[in-house]
Chains A and B, each alone.
Chain A
């Protein structure tokens, strides 16, 4: 094994992650390799410095309110979903009612009726096209089953 092969063991040695056998093997290597011994010493100093750094613990209030913050967001999400579904349904219903009224209204001009029908037809084509595209890309997405 070369010194390079001992790099992983050096990290494990530093972080106390080696088995007894690995530790013995690494110490054996260290005794005959001043370069690795020097590198380990530098890492030990660095580790000591890094271990001195601790992060400020937020006030207790933050932890007490933490779940409430999450719950409120979840609740709002549910609220938005219900609101959006209801708004879409009402919009579609209102739209159909409006179209029905205009189409059946004998006094409405033929141009208005044709324009309205063209608008509905255009919207329907756009919707189908976007929907079909989404399905196509979803079925071709190689990463859709990637483990999360």
Chain B
């Protein structure tokens, strides 16, 4: 871990001296994270690709702002997040664009079951979860994306969000509570609430 940090620090210094080759190393290391985070925040593959690349361009332009000894990714994450948020505001979305439709091309389909009904049910469930995540507000959505799709530790999430671990756990708690509610969980009154997709809520109850 330390050697990775040291190596990154050396690469960063080279970037700050204007080396595009060194920046390519950083891009190759973080491009997938950047793309999937952007996808989680804006919910659209084309926009996610464009925004993640634009974030790298801006990062290169301002790379000298990274203070010595600091990690690249938390700093880069702020650029990426701001770009995604302003993109959503510009397009007057409050939620990810994929939420408007029932089709979720961003979510990988299940094909490891023999029963077509089971496959369809699981794929529908995944689509519902993805759409529910998109319905979360920005600060809750980002912790879910970073934790579940990026598998980041609480410490790394706290670093990326410039907050402490307590804030991360608290946001995760409320984000999951809200998700549970959106998926028709135990405390959700479906008759009054807004169950998503075809009005079918309650996958949480279906779980073993």
Binding site for B on A (CB under 8 A): 7-8, 10-12, 15, 17, 42-43, 45-58, 62-63, 66-67, 69-71, 73-74, 77, 147-148
Inter-subunit contact A55/B204 (CB<8 Å): no
Indicate which residue in A42, A58, A67, A77 contacts B186 across the interface (CB closer than 8 Å). Answer: A42
CB distance from B97 to the nearest CB of A (A): 15
Inter-subunit contact B125/A52 (CB<8 Å): yes
24 sampled A-B residue pairs with Cβ under 8 A: A7-B170, A8-B166, A8-B173, A11-B173, A11-B176, A15-B172, A17-B154, A42-B185, A43-B176, A46-B180, A49-B207, A53-B107, A54-B107, A54-B149, A55-B40, A55-B149, A58-B45, A66-B31, A67-B28, A69-B53, A73-B54, A73-B57, A74-B20, A148-B65
Inter-subunit contact B203/A10 (CB<8 Å): no
Indicate which residue in B35, B148, B176 contacts A53 across the interface (CB closer than 8 Å). Answer: B148
Interface status of B162 (Cβ within 8 A of chain A)? yes
CB distance from A132 to the nearest CB of B (A): 26
Q: Which of chain A's residues have a CB closer than 8 A to the CB of B62?
A: 148
Query: Mostly helix, strand, loop or mixed at chain B's interface?
Result: helix
Inter-subunit contact A52/B49 (CB<8 Å): no
Binding site for A on B (CB under 8 A): 20, 24, 27-28, 31-32, 35-36, 39-40, 45, 49, 53-54, 56-57, 60-62, 65-67, 75, 78, 105-108, 110, 122, 125-126, 129-130, 133, 144, 147-149, 153-154, 162, 166, 169-170, 172-173, 176, 179-180, 183, 185-186, 203-204, 207
Once A43-B176, A53-B107 are accepted as A-B contacts, the answer to whether A73 and B53 lie under 8 Å apart by CB is yes
Inter-subunit contact B204/A49 (CB<8 Å): yes
Smallest CB gap from B147: residue in A: A15
Inter-subunit contact A11/B31 (CB<8 Å): no
CB distance from A26 to the nearest CB of B (A): 12
Give the tally of cross-chain contacts (CB within 8 A).
112
CB distance from B21 to the nearest CB of A (A): 10
Once A7-B169, A50-B144 are accepted as A-B contacts, the answer to whether A147 and B122 lie under 8 Å apart by CB is no
Inter-subunit contact B105/A56 (CB<8 Å): yes
Query: Mostly helix, strand, loop or mixed at chain A's interface?
Result: helix
Inter-subunit contact A11/B75 (CB<8 Å): no
CB distance from A101 to the nearest CB of B (A): 40
Question: With A52-B129, A56-B105, A67-B31 given, can you name 10 additional A-B contacts, CB distance below 8 Å?
Answer: A8-B170, A11-B173, A17-B154, A48-B207, A49-B183, A52-B125, A53-B133, A69-B53, A70-B56, A73-B57
Q: How far apart sit A32 and B20, CA to CA, in the bound complex (Å)?
A: 59
Q: Which of chain B's residues have a CB closer than 8 A to the CB of A148?
A: 62, 65-66, 75, 78
